[in-house]
Structure 1
């Protein structure tokens, strides 16, 4: 299976941390101050880096990093 942005379910934002999940139950988190995504809301253990052109990543760049990470895991 190849993941697409449409496969992510946006769960909202709490304390600045955005959360997405997949139909399979995996959760991913991102905060505007992070240049990575994480599998826990603290962001202490990065799951994958976000490739971005600025000093801060955007929400769409974070979602794209999640998709890239999911597709590389397969």
Structure 2
């Protein structure tokens, strides 16, 4: 199964920390200061680097990193 944006359930943002879930129960976190996505809200368990084309990473960049990780 290939994952796409419709498979990510955005849970919102609090103090810069964004959270997504998938239907099968995986959680992903990204903070605007991080260069990676993580499986915990501390960011210590990095899963995938966020590719930043220019400037600062965005929510869309984080979603691309989550999908890249899920589709490995």
Report the Cα distance in structure 2 between the residues aligned to 1:38 and 1:56, rounded to whole angstroms.
17
Q: Which residue of 1 aligns with 2:25?
A: 25
Which SS does the other structure have where 1:40 is aligned?
coil
Question: Is residue 69 from structure 1 mapped to residue 69 from structure 2 by the alignment?
Answer: yes
Size of the aligned set, in residue pairs, is 72
Deviation per CA, 1:24-71: give whole Å up to 9, x if none: 000000011111000000112211101111342110000010001000
TM-score, scaled to structure 1 = 0.91
Which SS does the other structure have where 1:2 is aligned?
coil
Q: Which residue of 2 aligns with 1:3?
A: 3
Moved over 3 A (4+): none
Q: Structure 1 stretches of 5 or more lacking a match?
A: none
Stretch deviating more after TM superposition (8-17 or 26-35): 8-17
- Cα RMSD of the aligned pairs, angstroms, is 0.9
